[in-house]
Amino acid sequence: MTEKINVRMSECEMASGDVILETLGLGSCVAICIYSKEKKLGGLAHIMLPHRINYEITEFRFADEAIFFMLKDFKKNGCENKDLVAKIVGGASMFEGLSNHIGQDNVETIRAEFEKQGVKIAAEEVFGNHGRSIWFDLNDGDVVVSTVYGATVEI
């Protein structure tokens, strides 16, 4: 039976095989999914902010760190960056007219980081003003994205 692993805000999970990684209720937060098709190995991080500025914070909240540690883990498992694909979901601006660029900053930082690391972004479901939940299937790398508004999509 498929194992389902829930990933909470500021958490990051790596798994392989018949596993679905899920994270629920993303707003301005972003789910970063990285996948190796060859190894059926996947990583999912639910990040809040682009960069760490305060080193006293113990939580795993930041996009740059999440990508760094996940790519390190892939490398340990014999995966090169060029063989990986990434998918990113979230980065919404939940309240209209609120000068809050967190979602956008998150997505732009993640794009830049993957570009720097030579990891291809295969698909995105980002921005907008609604929440999202995702299920990342490590059998094939597909990511199902659902929202309260509109249809569920697979990317």
Partner 1 sequence: MTPNKINSGNMDALREVFSIGAGHASGALSEMTGKKITVAFPSVKAYKIEDITYLFGAPETLVATVFLNIDGVFEEKKGSMSVGNFILMFEKDVAANFSSLIQKKKEVELDLMALDSLKETGNILSGSCLNAISEFLDFKLIESLPRAKVDMLGSTLDSFLATFAGDVDKVLLFRTSFLIESKNIESYLFLLFDPEVLTHIVKKIQKIQND
Question: Which residue, 153, 119, 146, 117, is CA-closest to 33?
Answer: 119
Question: Binding to partner 1 (CB under 8 A): which residues in 62-91?
Answer: none
Is 29 one of the annotated active-site residues of the chain? Answer: yes
**Interface size with partner 1, residues (CB under 8 A):** 34
In whole angstroms, the minimum distance from the beta carbon of 53 to partner 1 comes to: 5
For the CB of residue 38, give the shortest distance to partner 1 in the complex, in Å: 32
Which strand (E) or helix (H) includes residue 55? none
Q: What are the structure tokens assigned to 55, written together? A: 């080193």
Task: Look at strands 120-126 and 19-26 and give their pairing.
Answer: unpaired
Q: Which residues have C-beta within 8 Å of that of residue 72, sequence separation ≥ 6?
A: none
Question: What are the backbone dihedrals phi and psi of residue 99, each rounded to the nearest 5 degrees, phi first?
Answer: -80, 80
Based on the shown chain and the rule CB under 8 A, indicate whether residue 151 belongs to the binding site for partner 1.
Answer: no
Shortest gap between Cβ of 31 and partner 1 (angstroms)? 12
Closest to partner 1 by CB, 27 vs 43, is 27
DSSP 52: -
Which listed residue (3, 4, 8, 37) binds partner 1 by CB under 8 A?
8
Per-residue interface string for the shown chain with partner 1, residues 20-59, x marking contact by CB under 8 A: ----xxxxxx------------------xx--xxx-xxxx
Residue 150 backbone zone (phi > 0: left; psi -120 to 50: alpha; other: beta): left
Instruction: Point out which residues bind partner 1 (CB under 8 A).
Output: 8-10, 24-29, 48-49, 52-54, 56-59, 61, 92-98, 100, 102-103, 130-133, 148
